[in-house]
Structure 1
């Protein structure tokens, strides 16, 4: 998987999962499709399919909850009309991120999550920092998620299809909270 594809795939999984410190409603069990568009990625939107039940929806959040709590000094949630607004200040090494996500729709059938991230610093090794231009200082990611019905034939709860035959199960993904 190319690095840009990895970023888009992780954005689709982690964006709702970083909300682990937040109080978001559970998604309705079934087959979900997520169209992920990253503005700094020179690629068409990526489509990711997931088969979720109540247990695996919670598992997805739990896998990243400790990471969010460990990396983020601030996580705030508020409601603005029908939208849920999430704001976080996080850091990995000397890379600091300030994000604001606005979620519209519902977790029963469809929602859109637009995330704006401002970045400062770099997580690259010193030698790389000196020889490469700085990356983007901001990034916008849009995730359009919709429930498309019951899980597809051959899919079991927790299966994630990243496209082009790359299917993994959430239970088999490494736990980012284990050092």
Structure 2
């Protein structure tokens, strides 16, 4: 009886850790979630930066700033983590998307991607690199999920269906 109780206690203490570890290992790229607050996102190859008011529970970094509808349209073929770096390969409609994230989702990050597609019989690769920096609390009037583009135009919340 004592041995059975010890085995049960051991299993009860190990099982939650195993479940949490497997859930973390299976966490897909689209679940990269920034800290709640205002983030400034700047593409390194474009002058068009924006600010986004993030609600961490509903944030989807890849979906919101890289490939709209990524979760619904794309399938992750491979992914891996190494410290504060994360890489993934995915298949999307008419394209392959490879991404690399590095940084801290509470302070600053760099997200780069290569989208490979066939265009007019040729293979084209579009490279994009974004730098995100946490700015603090969201300003009054900017709803969670809303983007304020450089120049002042505000795009409505991206979180409508989340």
Q: TM-score if structure 2 supplies the norm length?
A: 0.65
Tell me the CA shift for residue 25 of structure 1.
4.1
Answer yes or no: is 1:30 the counterpart of 2:37. yes
| Long gaps (5+) in structure 2 | 1-26
Tell me the CA shift for residue 27 of structure 1.
1.1
Structure 1 CA distance for aligned equivalents of residues 142 and 72 of structure 2: 33
Task: Tell me the C-alpha RMSD between the 2 structures.
Answer: 3.5
Asked whether the equivalents of residues 88 and 100 of structure 1 are also in contact (C-alpha less than 8 Å), the reply is: yes
| Long gaps (5+) in structure 1 | 1-19, 39-43, 123-133
Q: Indicate how the Cα distance of structure 1 residues 142 and 135 shifts in structure 2: closer, same or farther if over 3 A, else same.
A: farther
**Greater RCO between the two (CA within 8 Å, min separation 6)?**
1
Aligned length in residues: 134
Asked whether the equivalents of residues 79 and 85 of structure 1 are also in contact (C-alpha less than 8 Å), the reply is: yes
The residue number in structure 1 matching 2:82 is 80
Please, which of 150, 156, 162 is the counterpart of residue 169 of structure 1? Answer: 156
The residue number in structure 1 matching 2:99 is 101
The residue number in structure 2 matching 1:154 is 141
Tell me the CA shift for residue 56 of structure 1.
4.2
Q: Which has the larger radius of gyration?
A: 2
Structure 2 CA distance for aligned equivalents of residues 31 and 171 of structure 1: 14
Tell me the CA shift for residue 30 of structure 1.
0.8
Q: Indicate how the Cα distance of structure 1 residues 154 and 70 shifts in structure 2: closer, same or farther if over 3 A, else same.
A: closer
Q: TM-score if structure 1 supplies the norm length?
A: 0.60
